[in-house]
Structure 1
């Protein structure tokens, strides 16, 4: 295996949550009489921390971001029923990496509470040596999450690869000086990822085995 450490985004990379996120944001907008953003614009902010995402999407309502963020968390957890599931092949790939002694981490725009809940629900927590969320670091595409993880684990940028589904993830990797792999499972298209620093693009999660080799 080429890398000592594989860092994964969560939404749209490990788990099929993008439709639920988009629907929740639309419900927040409707609830607060805010015009909905386009689906393309809404998808483009996935990966940012929640407050940054909402402010980017609804700049005219910057003074209400805390209120909108509270509404989002409530609707996502308690109201919206859009199903979410792991992408096919996730556990197979994680098991293979673990068997080869590769360290695996998560860098996500989710909250700590949200990530912890999904770790328990999916049973994947055993695979990850450490995780960083939007609560503990600067919002993507700042390299802060990756820098924190590398410092904690004592690895160098050339020993690390970041895997994500957004242009934001790819830019974060570039700023941190680590390799990047894109997946077309979530937000960005193959063509969009091709225009980034990603050296490999996977259309299915199991194709990551090829890219990581």
Structure 2
């Protein structure tokens, strides 16, 4: 293999970065490289952006898991500086071989398509999972009253807006918002106001990309 993907360089973090550092770096780099930011891009520009976005997801997939990171670091240490690259193509040509090292690992990877282990992560799923974690309830309620009420209200609003597809989307959104209230004991607006400025910006930009198909 001519080039080795430097996932630390792709995420712009040092080799001794903590797991939390990896997650924070992924949030930042995924927002910068998300292809939906390029509303008027040419097909080639979209393709390049998608490759970068995938490489960032690959980097997060590898470095956010302790076992995968140990295996990666063992290989990383055998490569010279000239062999290491932040070129997305280095990740695309290397990742399948690297992922197969974990085919027998305990527990399947998150963000992959299908149930088979050792697959390359789905970049869009990784993106959604990481940003959903920002508002994930800290403690699950035993009786999720607000989650049920939120699902019902969301379904009603969704039906008004977009009939059956709207019901599905509205019910899911209402359920997740209700689950936050069940866990926190206060409104979602109050929970949101307690977050730091960077987290608020990240959530708003993620929602914009999901709902509108472009980043603010």
What range describes the TM-score normalised by the shorter chain of this pair? Answer: under 0.3
TM-score by length of 1: 0.25
More strand by share: 1
TM-score by length of 2: 0.25
More helix by share: 2
Higher relative contact order (CA 8 A, sep 6+): 1
